């Protein structure tokens, strides 16, 4: 049976019971008043709580009436002996976090061997995607390749073709850098209309890691590459998908393109290309060739299948745009977001992610009234080039319907467009490269829905 691909853009309605079944519903702690009140009452509660176990330890087991037993009574873990060190040697998340998972989108036909999994953005903090939650996109399945048998070849316009073992690559000077990777098809289904209910499925084909490896320029130089006449590099993956992409030399000469073996302090995960993948900062995911086995230096673009017929954008005039390289400036509020529920009026931290394939995020504005008024969010530091940036902003919900949006601006001055602005330029028949402003509707009952404003 042919696997349904994200690229078809066909969508299904999410099953009615989808949210609760999926364990996505997030419930917020009750909090009243503004930020200062909120913080003050939080401190007061903590101070009251701190005294209690001491009092109990001194032989006063009677909790004051109405007190919270979870702070007043000594729990099992305060009395017994905890576990010894984990014997399997590799730590796992708490069992109470088992709903934080990569998932198949309900907007795509469900298959037994799925080819896309989405990262649970609604559950993540900061900018680093834990490696086990990194989104996945496999054109021909994934493999766990024996690194001792993996080879990397540089050929084409070079003095002599050169083959590297992993050991040879890993003794070369390395760099470590934080970058996002976004599939060109991220947010694809939303071109038509609202397609999926949660941020995991609207935006979950993005992840951010610290990658470690050798700049591709170093490996080209070692092979005696003709850097004057070589204009493009063909990158080729080692598994059966014939994943080949053209990378312009301009990106490689800057030293930004990395032949990476490391991800978040350890070797790449097999799903993400172990033992070697290309890191092409700012460029759509498809160019980040996994299981990288060869680069060829040439003097013109290669027009491979994945750039001639895939990852192209049908323009309003009927022409196709090919070789879309940079992922343009984009952002999304990850909490509160679709599928979550606000339990009560009062203070909430609105948080989200912003990124640009062209460089750093300069600012993120947030609106809670569908774009009529905007306030600048706080950007967490450091703000890094072609990496995710985390933003936060205070909000006091008055219990009335609210439309939450974020709008990012990058350091080139590019401002993330509305759907109206994007469609005015790109038309409506695109699949890839949707960077429009996302809207979340907070309803009076606290439930949050994915909506599009026309
Ligand atoms: N060899 C190989 N490289 C590949 C792919 C693939 O299927 N095979 N998929 C590409 C696509 S379309 C994307 S979006 C990213 C996904 O990387 P990830 O699975 O690590 O998230 O890898 C790219 N590199
Ligand atoms: Mo992709």
Among all chains, which residue has been given the structure tokens 């680093």?
A: 128
Of all atoms in ligand 1, which is nearest to the CA of residue 183? 14
| Residues 188 and 285 placed together within one structural domain of the fold | yes
Is there a single domain that holds both residue 292 and residue 145? yes
Say yes or no: 337 and 230 in one domain: no
Q: What is the rounded distance in angstroms from the CA atom of residue 70 to the CA atom of residue 216?
A: 55
Over 90: is that where the pLDDT of 375 sits? yes
Q: In the predicted model, is pLDDT for residue 53 greater than 60?
A: no
Q: Let me know: does 99 contact 76? Beta carbons within 8 Å.
A: no
Q: Do residue 274 and residue 363 come from a single domain?
A: no
Do 316 and 336 lie in one domain? The reply is no
Same domain, 262 and 221: yes
Residue nearest to atom 19 of ligand 1 (CA): 136
CATH number at residue 192: 3.90.420.10
For residue 55, the model assigns a pLDDT of 38
**Cβ 217 vs Cβ 257: under 8 Å:** yes
Say what the pLDDT of residue 288 is: 98
Domain residues for the domain of 424 are: 330-451
The answer to whether position 69 is within a domain reads: no
Identify whether 266 is part of a domain.
Answer: yes
Best-predicted range by mean pLDDT (46-55, 72-81, 302-311): 72-81
Predicted confidence (pLDDT) per residue in 149-169, tens digit: 999 999 999 999 999 999 999
- Asked, for residue 385, whether it belongs to a domain, the answer is yes
Please check whether residues 258 and 391 belong to one and the same domain. Answer: no
Q: State the Cα–Cα distance between residues 178 and 223, nearest whole angstrom.
A: 27
Say if residue 403's pLDDT is above 60: yes
Judgement on whether residues 281 and 147 belong to the same structural domain of the protein:
yes
Which atom belonging to ligand 1 lies closest to the Cα atom of 185? 14
Nearest CA to ligand 1 atom 15: 285
User: Based on the domain organization, do 365 and 220 belong to the same domain?
Assistant: no
- Render 289-300 in DSSP notation, one character per residue: -SSEEEEEEESS
Is residue 445 included in any domain, yes or no?
A: yes
**Does the pLDDT of residue 236 top 70, yes or no?**
yes
Pair 366, 402: CB distance under 8 Å: no
* Domain final residue pick, 290, 321, 352: 321
Q: Which ligand is nearest to the CA of 269?
A: 1
Ligand 2 center–CA 390 separation, angstroms: 23
Examine residue 14 and state whether it is found in any structural domain, yes or no.
no
Please list, residue by residue across 354-367, b when 16 or more beta carbons sit within 10 angstroms of its beta carbon and e when fewer do: bbbbbbbbbbbbbb
- Can you tell me which atom of ligand 1 is nearest the CA of 272? 20
pLDDT of 20: 35
Is the omega angle on the peptide bond into residue 421 within 30 degrees of 0, that is, cis? no
Task: Please tell me whether residues 311 and 182 are part of one structural domain.
Answer: yes
Distance of alpha carbon 164 from alpha carbon 169, whole angstroms: 6
At 37, list the tokens.
């009140």
The predicted structure's pLDDT at residue 306: 86
Does 418 have pLDDT greater than 50? yes
| Ligand 1 atom 23 nearest Cα | 286
Rg (CA), the chain: 25
- Residue 28 placed within a domain: no
Q: Is residue 51 part of a domain?
A: no
Q: How far apart are CA 401 and CA 420, in angstroms?
A: 22
Question: Which CATH number do you get for residue 414?
Answer: 2.60.40.650
One domain, residues 308 and 338: no
Q: Is the CB of residue 305 less than 8 Å from the CB of residue 236?
A: no
Q: How many domains does the chain have?
A: 2
**Which residue is listed with tokens 């940036």?**
389
3-state secondary structure string, 345-356? CEEEEEEEEEEC
Dist. CA 454–CA 437, nearest whole Å = 11
Q: What is the distance between the alpha carbons of residues 354 and 333, in angstroms, rounded to a whole number?
A: 9
Task: Indicate the pairing of strand 206-215 with strand 258-263.
Answer: antiparallel
Please check whether residues 138 and 269 belong to one and the same domain.
Answer: yes
| Ligand 1: residue whose CA is nearest its atom 12 | 286
Residue ending a domain, choose from 321, 346, 378: 321
Kindly tell me the burial class for residue 171, based on how many C-beta atoms sit within 10 Å of its own C-beta (0-12, 13-18, 19 or more): exposed
Last residue of a domain, one of 321, 350, 366: 321
The answer as to whether 96 is a domain residue is no
| Pocket lining: 292 vs ligand 1, CB cutoff 6 Å | no
């Amino acid at each position: 049976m042919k696997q349904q691909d994200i690229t078809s853009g066909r969508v299904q309605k999410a099953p009615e019971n989808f949210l609760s079944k999926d364990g996505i519903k997030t419930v917020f702690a009750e909090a009243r008043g503004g930020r200062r009140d909120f913080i003050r009452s939080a401190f007061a509660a903590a101070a009251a709580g701190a005294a209690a176990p001491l009092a109990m330890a001194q032989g006063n087991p009677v909790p004051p009436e109405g007190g919270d037993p979870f702070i007043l009574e000594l729990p099992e873990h305060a009395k017994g002996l905890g576990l010894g060190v984990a014997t399997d040697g590799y730590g796992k998340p708490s069992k109470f976090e088992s709903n934080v998972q990569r998932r198949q989108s309900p907007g795509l036909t469900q298959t037994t061997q799925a080819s896309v999994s989405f990262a649970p953005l609604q559950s993540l903090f900061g900018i680093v995607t834990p490696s086990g939650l990194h989104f996945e996109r496999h054109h021909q399945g994934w493999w766990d390749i024996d690194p001792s048998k993996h080879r990397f070849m540089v050929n084409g316009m070079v003095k002599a073709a050169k083959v590297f073992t992993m050991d040879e690559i890993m003794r070369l000077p390395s760099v470590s850098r934080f970058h996002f990777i976004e599939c060109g098809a991220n947010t694809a289904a939303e071109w038509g209309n609202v397609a999926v209910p949660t941020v995991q499925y609207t935006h979950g084909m993005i992840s951010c890691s610290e990658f470690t490896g050798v700049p591709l320029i170093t490996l080209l130089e070692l092979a005696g590459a003709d850097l004057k006449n070589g204009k493009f590099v063909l990158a080729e993956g080692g598994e059966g998908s014939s994943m080949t992409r053209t990378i312009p030399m301009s990106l490689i000469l800057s030293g930004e393109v990395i032949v990476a073996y490391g991800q978040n302090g350890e070797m790449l995960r097999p799903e993400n290309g172990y033992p070697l993948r290309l890191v092409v900062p700012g460029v759509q995911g498809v160019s980040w060739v996994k299981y990288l086995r060869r680069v060829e230096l040439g003097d013109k673009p290669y027009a491979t299948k994945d750039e001639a017929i895939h990852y192209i954008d049908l323009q309003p005039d009927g022409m196709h745009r090919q070789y879309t390289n940079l992922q343009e400036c984009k952002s999304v509020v990850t909490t509160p977001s679709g599928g979550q529920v606000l339990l009560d009026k009062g203070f909430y931290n609105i948080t989200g992610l912003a990124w640009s394939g062209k460089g750093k995020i300069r600012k993120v504005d947030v609106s809670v009234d569908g774009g009529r008024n905007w306030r600048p969010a706080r950007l967490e530091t450091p703000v890094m080039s072609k990496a995710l940036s985390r933003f936060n902003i205070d909000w006091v919900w008055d219990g009335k319907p609210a439309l939450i949006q974020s709008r990012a601006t990058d350091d080139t001055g590019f401002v993330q467009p509305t759907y109206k602005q994007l469609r005015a330029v790109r038309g409506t028949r695109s699949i890839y490269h949707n960077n429009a402003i996302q809207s979340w509707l907070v309803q009076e009952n606290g439930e949050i829905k994915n909506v599009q404003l026309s």
